[in-house]
Structure 1
Amino acid sequence: MYDNDTNRDSSKYPVHKHTVETTMYDNDTNRDSSKYPVHKHTVEATIYTKIIASSKIIPKLEEESSSKKRMCLYASPDEFTDVVLEVQDHKFYFYRLLLCRASPVFKAMLHSDFKEKDTGTILLHHRPFQDIYDMLRFLDPEVNFIIDIRAAFRLIPVADEFGVTRLRDVCVNYLLQHMDHVSTASDIMNCIFVAERHHHPSLMKAAIGRASRFSSAPYHFHISKLKATEFYQQLQPSTVIELLETKLMDYRSYN
C-alpha cells in the first residue's frame, strides 16, 4: 500500500511493515475448527509514507486554514446584523447593540445626528482591516478571542480611539503580565511608544524597567540597539531622558 501515490522510492520514504495474521477456511465459512483444517496465512503489508520536510508545515497550514475561516465571520449579513463597517475594501456586518454598549464613540455615531444613524454604515478606512476585525471578534460574545503581544500593541490604539475600555484594559494587563516575554529591542521600544502615546503610566514604567534589563551587553551596546528602532525616534524628549537615566542607574547598580 502506498500513501496517495504509487511506485514510491523506498530510499526517500520510510517503510512501515505490518504483519496481519488471518484465518482462512476451505470453501466455507464459520466451520468447526475441530473437524476442518485451519490454514493460517501471514500477510506482510508494506506502507510508504511521505516524508514531510518540516513538522512546522502542518501547524502553518492549519493556521492559514483557520485564519481564512475566521475572515468569513462577518462577511455576510444574517437576520440579526443591523450595521455595516466598511474597512478598506472589506465590509463587516455586525450588531449595533454590541457596538453601542462597548463604545461611546460608536453609540454617538449610531444614535446622534450623524449620517451613520440613517445609513447604518460606518466608514473606517483609516484603520487597518485586521485591527477592526480583531476588535469585533473581541466584542462578539460567541468568539473566544485570544490576545497576544502583537495584537495588544495593535489594539490599544484602536481601543483608545473608540473608547472600548474593556479591550484597552485587557491589552494593557496582558502586556504588564507578560513584560518579561517582550524580548526584542523593537518590541520593548514599541511598548514604550504605545504607553507614551496613549497615556498608560503603569505600562510606561514597566516597559522602561524592561528596557533597563534588556541584554547583558555593555551599556553603550544596550542604547545603540534601542536607538536603532523606529519607535525611539518618535518618543518625546522627556521619555527618552527617563529611559536613559533608568538604564544608566540600572547599569551602575550591576557594576
Structure 2
Amino acid sequence: MMARERKHRKLEEVMSDSQENEPYMYSGNLEEEPEPQSEEKPRPLFPQTDVILEVEGRPIHVNKQTLADSSPVFKRMFESDFKEKHMSTVPLPDKKYEDFEKFVFLIYNPGHQFQITNDTVIALLSLAVEYQVKAVQNRCESFLTSKLEQTKNHKMDHNDIPTLLSYAECTEKYDLQSISQLVVDLLARYDVKMLKQADVKDRVTGEVWTDILEKRNSLLTTCLANITGNGLAADVTATLELISSMEYGSPVKSNLMGKYESLLSNACKYYNRYNLTPHQLVHLIIAGERFELKTLLSSAIELASKAINFDSNMGRYHEISDRSKLKIAERKLHLQKYDPSSLQYI
C-alpha cells in the first residue's frame, strides 16, 4: 500500500514537470488558446507565378493564365505555338522595367487607381494598347479625361503646353476621339506664336493644327463679343484665361484685359442693370485675386460688404482668400455700425 502511494506521488510529480516543460495541449471540448503570432512573411507582389518576364535584365514573376485572361497578346504568346509557350523566362526588349511592373500590377489589381499619374499615364496607355488590355486602356483614358477637364476648369499655366502636346500626340497615335477635342480646346487658349515656339504645329497633324486655329478664332470672337456687349461673359474665368494666354506684353492683350476688367467692375457698381447674383460675385472676387485685377477686386469686395445675402454657404466661397474674407467682414461690420441703410440684398 505504501509502495503504491509512493509510486502515485512520483507519477504526479513527473506529470507536473511535463506540464511545465511541454507546449500547451488541449482537448476538443476545451476553449482554444491562441497560438503565438509568428512574424508574417511579405507576400509576393504577384502570387502563384509560373513564368518570369525579364525587363531591362530584371525579373517580374507572373502567372501565365492571369495575363492570358486579360490580354489577347499574352494569350497567343503563352497558349499558341510560339517559343515563349515553353520558356520559363521571357525577355521583353525595348520595355522599361518600372513602367511594365506598374502595367502588370494594374492587370492583377484592377481596383487600384494610384498607379496612374501624369508621369506614367502615357507609358501605361501605350502598353495597354500594345497588349490589348482594354481595362487598363479605359482607365488611362478616364484619367486623361479627368485631368483635362480639371485643366479646363482652372487657371492654366504656360508650362502645360508640353503636357498637352504629349496628350495631343497620344490621342492621334491611338485614335482617342473622346479626348482629342478636349486637347484641341485647351491648346486653342494659347497664343498662336507661343504654340509655334513649343513646336505644336510641327508635332501634330495638319488637321489637328487647323482645328486648333479654328477653335481659337471662335474663342476670340466670343471673347470680343463678351467684352463689347452689355452683359457679363458666360464664363468669366475662361475668358480671362484666354486673354491671359496671349503673348506676354502684347498691346492687344493689355487692351482686352483692361476693357474686360472695366466691364466686370461696372457690373459690380451697377449690379441691378447686369442682374448680378451673389454667386457671380463670388466668381468675380476669385477672378480678381487670381488675375491680380485690383480695380475689379476692390469693386467686388465693396459690393460683397454691402450684400446681406453674401455669405459662406455659396459655392466656391472657400476659394476666396482669407485676406479678402477679412476685408469683407471688417467692411460689413463698419457699415452695420455707421451706415446700416447701405446694406441690401442683391
* Structure 1 position 191 matched with structure 2 position 167: yes
1:150, distance to aligned residue in structure 2 (A): 2.5
Q: Residue 186 of structure 2 is aligned with which of 210, 221, 227?
A: 210
Q: Secondary structure at the match of 1:150?
A: coil
Q: Secondary structure at the match of 2:119?
A: helix
Question: Counterpart in 2 of 1:177?
Answer: 146
Question: Counterpart in 2 of 1:161?
Answer: 130
CA deviation vs aligned residue, 1:99-119 (integer Å, no higher than 9, x gap): 111110011001111111011
Equivalent residues of 2:167, 2:183 under 8 A apart: yes
Equivalent residues of 1:137, 1:143 under 8 A apart: no
Q: Give the partner amino acid of 2:77.
A: M
Question: Counterpart in 2 of 1:133?
Answer: 101
Q: Secondary structure at the match of 1:86?
A: strand
1:121, distance to aligned residue in structure 2 (A): 3.0
Question: Counterpart in 2 of 1:110?
Answer: 78
Q: Structure 2 length normalisation: TM-score?
A: 0.46
1:250, distance to aligned residue in structure 2 (A): 1.6
* Structure 1 position 122 matched with structure 2 position 90: yes
Question: Counterpart in 2 of 1:85?
Answer: 53
Q: Secondary structure at the match of 1:149?
A: coil
Q: Structure 1 length normalisation: TM-score?
A: 0.61
Instruction: State which drifts further: 222-231 or 153-162.
Output: 222-231
CA RMSD of aligned residues (A): 2.4
Q: How far, CA to CA, are the matches of 1:127 and 1:174 in structure 2?
A: 22
CA deviation vs aligned residue, 1:142-168 (integer Å, no higher than 9, x gap): 983412222222211111011011101
1:196, distance to aligned residue in structure 2 (A): 0.6
5+ long unaligned stretches in structure 1? 1-68, 215-221
5+ long unaligned stretches in structure 2? 1-41, 225-346
* Larger proportion of helix: 2
Q: Residue 212 of structure 2 is aligned with which of 216, 224, 243?
A: 243
1:232, distance to aligned residue in structure 2 (A): 4.9
1:73, distance to aligned residue in structure 2 (A): 4.0
RCO higher in 1 or 2 (8 Å CA, sep ≥ 6)? 1
Question: Counterpart in 1 of 2:121?
Answer: 152
Equivalent residues of 1:196, 1:204 under 8 A apart: yes
CA deviation vs aligned residue, 1:160-183 (integer Å, no higher than 9, x gap): 011011101001011112214455
1:88–1:190 CA distance, 2 compared to 1 (3 A): same
Q: Secondary structure at the match of 1:144?
A: coil
Q: Give the partner amino acid of 1:202.
A: S
Equivalenced residues, count: 174
Identity value in percent: 21
CA deviation vs aligned residue, 1:218-250 (integer Å, no higher than 9, x gap): xxxx22333334665332221222222222222
Question: Counterpart in 1 of 2:63?
Answer: 95
